[in-house]
Amino acid sequence: MTLFPSESYTASYRTKLTYSGRYSLGRYSLNLPNALTLLRIFIVPLLVVVLLTPFSENWFGVPRHLLGVTLFLGAALTDFLDGHLARSRDQVTRLGQLLDPIADKLLISAALISLVENQLAPAWAVVIIIGREFAVTGLRSIAAADGVVIAASKMGKFKMLAQVVTVALLIASSVSGKPPVENFGRPFPAIEFWSVPELRAALQHLFGEGRTARNDWQVLVYTTGRALLWLVVISACLSMYGYFRSFYASVLASRAERRKAEGARTATVPE
């Protein structure tokens, strides 16, 4: 006597363990690349807790900002590993294709919003970056519905790398979760970084007289991160323009050709 008769489910959707060590459920498979993608998703809430929880500056003996950088870079590393392993081991699955872009956007969005909450990044820049992510995802979804795959551009890959470096620098430079500069209560300048007194003092200690202290290095790292944020915003806009152009060329043009072909067939049908 069996608890679940075989007639209650089809063999195509039965969970199996194959010799490759991969659990499969129909077209969806949980293998090592997919497990890394899921791990990246699970790291996101832990990263948010570490960055936005002020009750402790040390977690397991590790400063909060260093633990945050470690979690973020570790999650970003899984983004490279899951794609590399999936291609090298021929384990590209529908589950991985669905989860990978979701995991990427969750990680980047959570990190950037945490930076805004901690006053480490301006909201306008984060809105542009996250808005670009949603716009590109929408274009890819529409293209996929028409059977067209829009591959990641070189500018998009460069933007992702610059984004990871920028976020890591901004997290690492924080002091008690806040920026290492006061600027006398005024907002951190978007372009005139040299007007910040702490930056002037840090540069003087670095290239002139005086000893370069820990806070000076944090100010320098923070200023570098804020400068690179401009590079991320510009590359995000350029890559979004490239995706829109590819979308028009591959999807809208193909639709126009199909309508033209259908119109030609209709015209040739005899009455």
CATH number for the domain formed by residue range(s) 29-252 = 1.20.120
pLDDT in tens, 146-197: 666 666 677 777 888 899 999 999 999 887 778 888 754 456 665 666 667 7
pLDDT in tens, 25-57: 444 457 888 888 889 999 999 999 988 886 666
Highest average pLDDT, of 69-78, 98-107, 142-151, comes from 69-78
pLDDT band at 264 (very low <50, low <70, confident <90, very high): low
Q: What is the structure's pLDDT at 269?
A: 47
Q: When comparing pLDDT for 156 and 263, which is higher?
A: 156
Q: What is the structure's pLDDT at 29?
A: 55
Q: What is the structure's pLDDT at 169?
A: 94
> Which residues, at least 6 apart from 47, have a Cβ–Cβ distance to it below 8 Å?
68, 71, 72, 75, 107, 110, 111, 114
pLDDT in tens, 193-248: 666 777 778 888 888 777 888 888 888 899 899 889 999 999 999 888 888 887 77
Q: Please state, in angstroms and rounded to a whole number, the distance separating the CA atoms of residues 84 and 79.
A: 9
pLDDT band at 266 (very low <50, low <70, confident <90, very high): low
Q: Which residues pair with residue 175 across a beta bridge?
A: 178
- In 3-state terms, the chain is what percent helix, strand and coil (to 5)? 70, 5, 25
Residue 55 is which amino acid? F
Q: What is the structure's pLDDT at 97?
A: 72
Given a cut of 70, is residue 6 above it in pLDDT?
Answer: no
Q: What is the structure's pLDDT at 186?
A: 56
State the sign of the Cα–Cα–Cα–Cα dihedral 25, 29, 30, 36.
negative
- pTM score above 0.85: no
Using CB atoms within 10 Å of the CB of residue 258, give its burial: 0 to 12 exposed, 13 to 18 middle, 19+ buried: exposed
Q: 30-44, 80-94, 245-259: which has the minimum mean pLDDT?
A: 245-259
Q: What is the structure's pLDDT at 160?
A: 86
Q: Please state, in angstroms and rounded to a whole number, the distance separating the CA atoms of residues 120 and 114.
A: 9
pLDDT in tens, 102-127: 888 899 999 999 999 988 888 999 99
